[in-house]
Amino acid sequence: MFIQTEATPNPATLKFLPGGQVLENGSREIRNAEEARVSPLASALFSIDGVSGVFFGPDFISVTKSMGEWQHLKPAILGAIMEHFISGGQLIAADALGAEGASDEFFEPEHAEIVATIKELIEAQVRPAVASDGGDIVFRGFKDGIVYLQMKGACSGCPSSTATLKRGIQNLLCHYVPEVKSVEQA
């Protein structure tokens, strides 16, 4: 098994590509060792000193470090990922699947059409670009012309995430959806 790695715009996060499907639907962010209990792979990764976050995407795993150098952390991370995929074990415990997918979206019912357009633009235009950087973006709400989005994975702590939200995503949404006045991090 050969696992490729890619740098992300966030210097504290590295993207690992095992060459196949990681998560069947959506994405899953695991922010600490307690949350990691739902995943044998995340638990193994959090047992490595310096690992502070794990993010599962459709075909990648982003690992965030709190300390240490990548050249020292990378071999242990690659070993844990390889061991997991060779074992054929579950990525997420069956009873925990979908738990993170529970949405706390908010918007007025009369804005349902606007929200549908916003979500469509995010899905088609934004999510693929954000995923290529090792993260994900999730719609959280729309109120008073403001779109609230949550950045996940490599994007959540990235120094350029504010620029991505304000210059990239805000410009796109304002252009196609006149009701959108600004975009904020949820």
Per DSSP, the residues of 65-83 read: ESSS-HHHHHHHHHHHHHH
Q: pTM for the whole thing? A: 0.80
Q: In 47-134, which ranges are E strands?
A: 51-56, 61-65
From residue 17, how far is each of 5, 23, 57, 132, 183 by CA, in Å? Answer: 6, 12, 10, 11, 30
Q: Do domains 4-96 and 109-185 have the same CATH topology?
A: no
**Per-residue model confidence as pLDDT tens for the chain (186 residues):** 789 999 998 899 999 999 999 998 888 999 999 999 999 999 999 999 999 999 999 999 999 999 999 999 999 999 999 999 999 888 988 766 554 444 688 999 999 999 999 999 999 998 888 888 888 888 999 999 999 998 888 777 676 777 777 788 999 999 999 999 999 888
Candidates 127, 132, 134; CA nearest to 64 is: 134
Is domain 4-96 classified as CATH 3.50.50.60?
Answer: no
Pick the CATH number of 109-185 from 3.30.300.130, 1.10.3720.10, 3.30.559.10, 3.30.110.40: 3.30.300.130
Write down the domain spans for the chain.
4-96, 109-185
